[in-house]
Structure 1
């Protein structure tokens, strides 16, 4: 059973369709870590152009889904409610597997450093046991 529904996620982060890229949050340790799920459907708007004959979820969107997962973790802390977490950097991103329609993407972001409004998250996206993407994401809370 999910910890947060889509509606509850939208109460924490400002993203909306078609740019809300996480469906549910499965685990949440406020301020520390979140695990989210994205059920990748053939009907995703980005598949129309990436690529018409071989739909693949863009790596940039996988990174964004991981960032949204981290934003839920950091913005679920009471003192950060109503704020926005902005990208400040992406380091060491590696893509290991294509993400295609029918995949269930499991997104985990762990906050590994934070000093004031700046923080860093270690992020991993998986399909089953296969790693699709790993990255280190820097964010700024405003």
Structure 2
């Protein structure tokens, strides 16, 4: 049985200098929710969210990130797969806030992903991820949208599975 969630009733208020975005989750709080660590932690803040429905996350893209050494020398462009992964990490925060969901949220698939323009150092990637459906609290489908300066850079559908969480071995 697939459960379809109700659409969001109201859009978040527009962010201006007089109305700055509320930081719903800081980087430290995100680290407590997600297992990803450097260099694969790709969400710096969550600025807006409704638990179990949608979230808006920010990734500040800097030249110091390791993938820019080889992608591409002289013309650094953020790899598209990392844009999708950043959206998936925002989606992980949404999915793990659904009542009754426990375990580790892992990628199960992507559909209809399109890249519209490059993301380069200095850009602020703003990702909005909305939960579309859940099945047996084990599978989720979401729609992700990433923008820079209000321009669409990537969008697509993301599928997730929730698996049993086991502690990772501690390395030395």
Q: Is the 8 A contact 2:142 2:157 kept in 1?
A: yes
Following TM superposition, where does structure 1 have runs of at least 4 consecutive aligned residues deviating by more than 4 angstroms? none
For the pair 1:92 / 2:112, whether they are aligned, the reply is: yes
Residue 132 of structure 1: aligned partner: 153
The structure richer in helix per residue is 1
From 114, 124, 128, the counterpart of 1:108: 128
Matches within 5 A, 1:111-122: 111-116=131-136, 117-122=138-143
What is the TM-score normalised by the length of structure 2? Answer: 0.79
- Of 15-24 and 72-81, more deviation after overlay is shown by 72-81
Residue 166 of structure 2: aligned partner: none
Deviation at 1:129, TM superposition (A): 1.2
The structure richer in strand per residue is 1
Residue 29 of structure 1: aligned partner: 50
What is the TM-score normalised by the length of structure 1? Answer: 0.95
Aligned residues: 141
- Distance in 2 separating the partners of 1:134 and 1:65: 12
Deviation at 1:115, TM superposition (A): 0.7
**Two-structure CA RMSD over aligned residues (Å):** 1.0
- Distance in 2 separating the partners of 1:108 and 1:19: 19
Q: Is the 8 A contact 2:95 2:140 kept in 1?
A: no
Deviation at 1:78, TM superposition (A): 5.0
Which digits, 9 at most, give the CA deviation of each residue in 1:23-48, with x for residues without a partner? Answer: 00001111111100001001011101
For the pair 1:11 / 2:50, whether they are aligned, the reply is: no
Stretches of structure 2 that go unaligned for 5 or more consecutive residues are: 1-21, 164-172
Stretches of structure 1 that go unaligned for 5 or more consecutive residues are: none
Which digits, 9 at most, give the CA deviation of each residue in 1:59-114, with x for residues without a partner? Answer: 00000000000001111335335x21111110000000100000000011100011
